[in-house]
Amino acid sequence: MLDYSILNRFDPHGMHKVYDDWPEIAKKSYNTNYEQINFENINHIVFAGMGGSGALHDIFSAILSKTNIHVSIVKGYHLPKTVNSETLVITSSVSGNTVETLTVLDLAKKSNCKLIAFSNGGKMRDYCFKNGIEHRSIPTYLSPRSSFPSFLFSMLKVLAHIIPIKKEDVIESINNLENLQKEIASHNISPDNPSIDLANYLTDIPVIYYPWGLQAAAVRFKNSLQENAKMHAMIEDVIEVCHNGIVAWEKRSNVKPVLIRGHDDYIKTKERWNIIKEYFEQKNIEYKEISSVGGSILTKLVNLIYLLDYATIYLAVMSKIDPTPVTAIDFIKNKMR
């Protein structure tokens, strides 16, 4: 049985305490008096960042998907060849020392694009100060992934003239975080906690199905399962899976399906969900269904990420695993120096 003493024992760094504060961190970050930018004549935005920063950029991509601005996500070393004077390159690294993102920053500096960087400091801040590049220093909380609301809402504030999202939608997303906090935070260690309920289901290997608009939440969930709970996880688009992945269920396995649904999914997507559920039920395949709240795309994604991320912390603790250390990542980073 999970209780607060067990939570503190197996989460000695206090990741759950940071997550308990996510709504307050989000509010504080958005209300901080950061200097905003207002680059003009932009028709292409490139977001460059790895890990937790990459997850942030997936959210910005979802917000921009309804606009005429072309968006590229770079999770690696190379800039798109289409970068030009009407391109804004946005790099972010929580530590400021992510080698891939620093490489992209240097390439962007040598091009004729517009450029801004976000980090807590590190080599990225030093490079920007030396080269006269716009940079904003963002506070961190324990780890890159737990610093999610700090970076997301700080960037929303700085990029308010670039990212077409209403202030009331940002406030709505924070209010929803506060409402969800009452259900999933560590003061409510009970079967009624939806994140604990999901953690209890997440045995073996999860395969996460999602609609296109909620891809950012699915990717983040997979990453958090891998980093916090130290377990394998897979993600698949719900429409694409009907043309390939569904066939794998003809053979019994220890994979556990998780269905991430939008509050107002497209009508044909809703039809597809119902067909997949019917198939699972005919085959006696257990599945878990998670639905987003209503509201803006920002509200839906932030709310889902909060619930899903917290489930991975509870899962780690229930598996007697400290969610904070990422020894394998440290091994690779040390080899890359």
Burial status of residue 38 (CB atoms within 10 A of its CB: 0-12, 13-18, 19 or more): exposed
H helical segments located in 163-296: 167-184, 194-201, 215-228, 238-241, 267-282
Domain that holds residue 252: 180-318
One domain, residues 294 and 195: yes
- Provide the number of structural domains found in the chain: 2
Q: Is residue 328 part of a domain?
A: no
Lowest mean pLDDT among 174-178, 230-234, 328-332: 328-332
Neighbours of 140 (CB within 10 A): 18
Q: Are residues 157 and 63 in the same domain?
A: yes
What the block records as the tokens of 168 is 């009331």
Q: Are residues 32 and 120 in the same domain?
A: yes
| Token reading at 309 | 């991320």
Q: Are residues 68 and 193 part of one domain?
A: no
Q: Which of helix, strand or coil describes residue 72? A: strand
CATH code of the domain in which 38 resides? 3.40.50.10490
The whole-number average pLDDT for the span 8-24 is: 97
d(CA 65, CA 235): 20
Same domain membership, residue 152 and residue 22: yes
Residues 129, 197 within the same domain: no
Task: Give residue 247's pLDDT.
Answer: 97
Considering the domain architecture, whether residues 145 and 15 belong to the same structural domain is answered as yes
Which SS3 state, helix, strand or coil, does residue 260 take? strand
Across 168-185, average pLDDT: 97
| Mean pLDDT of the region 114-130 | 96
Q: Are residues 164 and 40 in the same domain?
A: yes
pLDDT at position 337 over 80: no
pTM for the whole thing? 0.96
Structure confidence by residue, pLDDT tens digits, 271-327: 999 999 999 999 999 999 999 999 999 999 999 999 999 999 999 999 999 999 999
- Whether residue 279 contacts residue 249, with contact meaning beta carbons closer than 8 Å, is answered with yes
Angle at 145 between CA 139 and CA 151, to 5 degrees: 40
The reply to whether 257 and 280 lie within a common domain is yes
Structure tokens at 62: 């979802």
* Strands in the chain per DSSP E: 44-48, 70-74, 87-93, 114-119, 134-137, 205-210, 234-237, 255-261, 288-291
Q: Is residue 333 part of a domain?
A: no
Q: Check residues 55 and 229 and name the one with the higher pLDDT.
A: 229
Is the domain of 198 the same as that of 84? no
Is residue 146 located within the same domain as residue 227? no
- Tell me: the pLDDT tens digits for 204-219? 999 999 999 999 999 9
With bands split at pLDDT 50, 70 and 90, how would you rate the model's confidence at 82? very high
For residues 87 and 60, state if they share a domain.
yes
